[in-house]
Amino acid sequence: MIDQWRVRETFLRLLRMNTPSGQEGPVADFLEAELRALGFETWRDGAGKAIGGETGNLLARRPGSAPEAPTVLLNAHMDTVAPTEALEIVEEPDGVIRSSGTTILGADDKAGLTAILEGVRAAVAEGFPMPTVEIAFTIAEETGLRGARHLDYSSLTATQGYAFDGGKPVGGIVVAAPSQDNVTAVVHGVAAHAGAAPEKGVSAIRIAAEAISRMPLGRIDAETTANIGVIQGGHATNIVPDRVECRGEARSHDDEKLTRQTRAMTDAFNEAAAAAGGRAEVRVERVYSHFGFTENDPLVRRAVSAASRAGIAEVVTRPGGGGSDANIFNTHGIATVVVGLGYDNVHANNEYMSLADLTTAARVALEILRLAGAERA
């Protein structure tokens, strides 16, 4: 049985730990002790060393009591998008938990950690036939899914999983997510004195501006988006700038569309540079690849049933527009969807989490394990 008081205490304890990307040690230590007390074997991989962090991914396994049931992976990430050392937690009378507004709350993804831990606690206490459960509490999700990208997948046996890393609505299932490519362009012009001899210069900033004005950006179609988010360059107002760096991204649920979009962005930089007498160096890097499931896939059916059993009257299944550890797990052969926790205003100082929704999310985790334990692989 899910214990709402315990849910609250666990969540608040996790929130009080300042764990931005690369500094997840305190959360990992706490979770590891809790999992061991529940009968899990735990270990940490070398991801922390690979990225220069203070700990690796926390991995765990508990053998099941239903030997024919499929092994299930549960995932959440231990880092927050920004530091929370100055966090002041505010609990509203209606059960909403937020920060005082000076920092983020950190519900993304400490709500996911809480839901999984409480779901497992309740499952162990109830003693129903359980599948083998594997857990991946990852590091550095907020800085490019680096924990999942460096995870030691040879140590996991699950072929299906659930990433507790979604927002509203609680219990909603993200069944698809796009691929993302990062686009980095370094534009080279010719420096000159802007007052004495501007005609001798070629402005890298002007080239970049022309290129960006030509390329399709924003909502390209129902499956594709693109953005230029960072421009850096120039030295002084009296120098024609000879170098500008532009960083952007493109996302799509269709890889052919994504290729067309990044090609259009690349061509825009190259053509604008050539026309002005400069040059451009453009690099396109795949950050993660898309995944997609239907409502008829067993993985999704189980999640929907679990959410219904947790008391959610209408379970929402939808495609998402962002990336998560689930993208990386799917690439490595672990079919994974994202479970909604109910937090809102993610990554902002007005982020909040309802204790009622968090308790429901823990029930979803519990019911996933109950349903999986009754299945045959």
At 243-265, the pLDDT tens digits run 999 999 999 999 999 999 999 99
pTM for the model stands at: 0.93
pLDDT in tens, 66-107: 989 999 999 999 999 999 999 999 999 999 999 999 999 999
Please indicate whether residue 314 is annotated as part of the active site: no
Average confidence score pLDDT of the chain: 97
Predicted pLDDT at 110: 98
CB atoms within 10 A of CB 127: 8
Exposure of 313 in the CB half-sphere (CA atoms within 13 A): 0
Tell me which DSSP letter residue 142 carries.
G
Residue 57 confidence (pLDDT): 98
Cα 73 to Cα 162: distance, rounded to the nearest angstrom: 6
Q: What is the pLDDT at residue 149?
A: 97
Residue with tokens 């993208």: 327
CB-CB contact of 251 with 284 (8 Å) = no
pLDDT of residue 165: 98
Give burial (CB, 10 Å; 0-12/13-18/19+) of 375. Answer: middle
CB 79 within 8 A of CB 113: no
The matching CATH number, chosen from 1.20.58.110, 3.55.50.30, 3.20.20.70, 3.30.70.360, for 180-288 is 3.30.70.360
The catalytic residue among 141, 142, 165, 351 is 141
Active site residue 79: yes
Residue 377: its pLDDT value, please? 75
Distance CA 292, CA 63 (A): 29
Regions of the chain with pLDDT less than 70: none
pLDDT at 301: 98
Q: Say which residue the tokens 């609680």 belong to.
A: 170
Which is catalytic among the residues 45, 79, 249, 351? 79
Does the fold of domain 180-288 match that of domain 4-177+290-373? no
Q: Superfamily for 4-177+290-373? A: Zn peptidases (3.40.630.10)
Q: Where are the domains of the chain?
A: 4-177+290-373, 180-288
- % pLDDT > 90, the chain: 99
